[in-house]
Structure 1
Amino acid sequence: MTDGPRSHRPHPRTPTPAPARTGGHAVVVGGGIAGTTAALALADAGLRVTLLEGRPRLGGLAFSFRRGELTVDNGQHVYLRCCTAYRWFLDRIDAAALAPLQDRLDVPVIDAAKPEGRRLGRLRRDALPVPLHLARSLTTYPHLSLADRARVGRAALALKRLDPADPALDTQDFGSWLTAHGQSARAVRALWDLVGVATLNAVAGDASLGLAAMVFKTGLLSDPGAADIGWARVPLGDLHDRLARRALDAAGVRTETRTRVTSVSAHPSGGWSVQAPGETLEADAVVLAVPQREAYDLLPAGALDAPRRLLDIGTAPILNVHVVYDRKVLTGPFFAALGTPVQWVFDRTDASGLTDGQYLAVSQSAAHDEIDQPVAVLRERYLPELERLLPLARGARVRDFFVTRERTATFAPAPGVGRLRPGSRTGAPGLYLAGAWTATGWPATMESAVRSGVGAADAALRALGRPRPRRPFAFEEAA
């Protein structure tokens, strides 16, 4: 499967008229995916909504910027077919055609550490029921020994029996569980971490067993197509800023960027005041859809029983290495790698607007050791590794090399994080929380962000006595 041309856009449709307003004003603080979702959900239910974002754009940590003639995503973001809430969000902003899913899971995996040279394997599914859909792929996966393949199957069946909502699982680390279930260090690197690092932003030994069980049960052991991969064939800014803003406008949401909220306070008689430079907004409901540390600064006294727990939620970095070659060096849309520092590589040529050569984005999750290293050091490390993985790169000229760094890209999914993540409702009537870091049951993903926004909006609508629109995905509000 190849990326579509950047010039592809869906046909403009007549905006759906905004629902009739029936009184009530909600203010959403934060214009990332969570905040945008909350604003749309509240407006769809008939509330008057104001969305305030401190940055000059919407989209939070999934955004684009210009570098010369290129449009660059700050990092590579993907989603899976099981991400039903994010898929709803894409439909809601009329963007689904720009971020299509694979017809069937197919991940090329190159091992560069084999003595005989690079070796290609594939993780792909067949049109069979779970767990047979992955059986043929695992039995022929060359990066595991015969003994490891058998033990992987037994561990997967044991994982399927776990309940990710069990609080006891949150106190354990995934790595220890894998070791106790016969998984070798090689199996952890070649399979469990290959998937887990990309979805959890942590290696198995640093990840909560509860979150890991949720990822693997939902993505690989629930439905045959659950792990089919989708990604944007256009810049992320086209989705999360341009099309999101158009959807907000059509829904009647007042959207203000470059507007950083300085305080949120409750009225003794009910309702809220939201203070921004030059303006005070009065609201019946407020959704704080900002990072946990910013939420901590804005929360009024008494809103959470133990607000300092928000500061105990750690963060994890993601580093992205961007390389522009003078020729095509990768023939497929992406691949994953073993036996090398390189994790995942994506072809972003068409999406960036590049018309000559090829632009690759190397996505490095859990990049604690590299996030602050100089560009020159990273260049010396990654260009030779890409040449090892991609023979066509060995004679290619590098036109550009740069990095993007998100030092607090996600919350750290460490054991014990579950008890720190608050639900959407606070102890202050009319004040709600949203963000991928809240208690959605998911790791820090775009799916978690959408679910949090819907949860906060639904909690506000319930408190205001408003009907909640039906949506084509299951959602249980976190308590």
Structure 2
Amino acid sequence: MSARVAARRPSAVVVGGGLAGITAALRLAEAGRQVTLLETRPRLGGLAFSFRRGELTVDNGQHVFLRCCTAYRGLIDRLGAGRLVDLQPRLDIPVLGLGADGTRTLGRLRRAGLPVPLHLAGSLARYPHLGPVDRARVVRAALALKALDLADPALDRISFGDWLRRQGQTPATLAALWDLVGVATLNATADRTSLALAAMVFKTGLLSDPGASDIGMASVPLGAIHHDAALAELERAGVRVLLRSRAVELKPAEQHAVRLESGELLTADTVVLAGAQDAAAALLPPGAIEGQHRLTELGTAPILNVHAIYDRELLRKPFFAALGSPVQWVFDRTAHSGLAVPGAQYLALSQSAVQDEIDLPVAELRERYLPELERLLPAARGAEVLDFFVTRERTATFDPAPGTAALRPAARTALAGVLLAGSWTATGWPATMESAVRSGHAAADAALADGPGTGHRPVDRGDGRWPR
């Protein structure tokens, strides 16, 4: 009598439950791998998460995406959460400027239903924060930007600010347009940003397709998407999810071993390190990636979020950007938070590139930002502040400085079956949700290309490109 022994299913351990880890785990599970996902925190979602503050549900920061973020949008659809996000039918950014004398001027950056670059021409022609000569300068720089070759490695050695000045840009155009958009997407001012990354952002978001820059936001707390929906979908795909589980050691071998802080030892054919750059560096054995000693040179940049709840409505739009003020972007979070005080409004300020402010005491931040909100929104002058608090992400993104590209590792390492994922890896995108998801796909692509076939077709990335 003979027995047929079933072939062992290939196994994978994904370390990190942010968007990169969620994406990689789903892809590998769909391809027939036996997947375990580890997350140190008690919830999934990485830095795009929610928490409770009394009866309030608070997002740690305002995370937006653009229509061109096809991989992130694909993940949202994969999680069955498409109804939980809102996407503008057409780009429309209210920009509220404050003059030195306190005068307020409202302008808008919005697109028309015309081809690139005419889709923004009408809006720019009426943009009150720039004079006619500066508007013409912006057009010339945009055309020069569109002509840049993103594959040229020399772009990464140049500061975006230096390049803009060579294109005739002035402090006014930097403040009213280039840094208005760039600081929010790159988490650095033009002078501290690689031209390669800035060119990628502006070419893709503003100069590739008329609708590429339309803004999307979650219509529910981020945790409802990145934890609740993600956890349900991972479990449906057969992924074993271990929360509050920290990986402390990786031992590469024919079957890699991942030791947890609890002492448990997991073995797997594939290990994806999908956490933050410092966490991955701590687990990687020496020599795992080329120039590994330089990984610490890939710096970090902070994001500060200021939360203020007023006893009345101050803002009738979902958000606006500010000029002539320390305030950068203001969002209405009332409906998302479940705020139960009748007539009250919850405003969140998203402040990027704030190295000088990230560690200031809450009282000092209150003294800095509440008067600024009164200048921007005069109705705040007679309103009562019911609550004020801040959330800080000191290492929110990698530092996008010139020379960054050479420091960002690819998904593959020198160790077969050990892969990297995270928005800090070499995706070509800045540290965004889109970059995180794309990195998860890159790691899964590499694992599936190297591993044994299973006959399972992996999930669609959401951008129409199937892995090859």
Normalised by the length of structure 2, the TM-score is 0.95
Runs of 4+ in structure 1 over 6 Å off: none
* Contact 1:22/1:47, CA 8 A, preserved across alignment: no
**Which aligned pairs between 1:44-83 and structure 2 lie closer than 5 A?**
44-83=30-69
C-alpha distance in 1 between matches for 2:286 and 2:270? 17
C-alpha distance in 2 between matches for 1:94 and 1:474? 18
Match of 1:303 among 288, 291, 295: 288
Offset of residue 472 of structure 1 = 3.4
Matched, 1:363 2:353: no
Matched, 1:353 2:334: no
C-alpha distance in 2 between matches for 1:74 and 1:476? 33
Change (3 A) 1:79 1:126: same
Offset of residue 471 of structure 1 = 3.4
Q: Percent identity?
A: 65
Where structure 1 has 5 or more consecutive residues not aligned to the other structure, the ranges are 1-20
Match of 2:202 among 209, 216, 219: 216
1:39-89 Cα offsets, whole Å, 9 max, x none, are: 011111111100011111111111111111100011110000000000001
Matched, 1:473 2:463: yes
**Which aligned pairs between 1:91-170 and structure 2 lie closer than 5 A?**
91-113=77-99, 115=101, 117-170=103-156
Offset of residue 294 of structure 1 = 1.2
Aligned residues: 456
Which sits farther off after the overlay, 275-284 or 397-406?
A: 275-284
C-alpha distance in 1 between matches for 2:264 and 2:304? 37
3-state SS of the aligned residue for 2:395?
Answer: strand
Offset of residue 393 of structure 1 = 1.2
Which sits farther off after the overlay, 109-118 or 297-306?
A: 109-118
Q: Equivalent residue for 1:13?
A: none
**Which aligned pairs between 1:11-90 and structure 2 lie closer than 5 A?**
23-90=9-76
C-alpha distance in 2 between matches for 1:153 and 1:451? 31
Offset of residue 112 of structure 1 = 1.1
C-alpha distance in 2 between matches for 1:456 and 1:58? 19
Offset of residue 474 of structure 1 = 5.6
Offset of residue 315 of structure 1 = 0.2
* Contact 1:80/1:229, CA 8 A, preserved across alignment: yes
C-alpha distance in 1 between matches for 2:146 and 2:100? 32
1:428-453 Cα offsets, whole Å, 9 max, x none, are: 00000000000000000000000000
Change (3 A) 1:121 1:309: same
Change (3 A) 1:127 1:342: same
Offset of residue 395 of structure 1 = 1.0
Match of 2:366 among 379, 404, 417: 379
1:377-428 Cα offsets, whole Å, 9 max, x none, are: 1111101100111122111100000000000000000000000000000000
Change (3 A) 1:150 1:123: same
Matched, 1:400 2:384: no
Offset of residue 297 of structure 1 = 0.9
Root-mean-square deviation over aligned CA pairs: 1.5
* Contact 1:371/1:407, CA 8 A, preserved across alignment: yes
* Contact 1:174/1:212, CA 8 A, preserved across alignment: yes
1:213-247 Cα offsets, whole Å, 9 max, x none, are: 00000000000000000011111111111111001
Normalised by the length of structure 1, the TM-score is 0.93
Which sits farther off after the overlay, 294-303 or 35-44?
A: 294-303
C-alpha distance in 2 between matches for 1:166 and 1:97? 39
C-alpha distance in 1 between matches for 2:162 and 2:263? 53
Q: Equivalent residue for 2:250?
A: 264
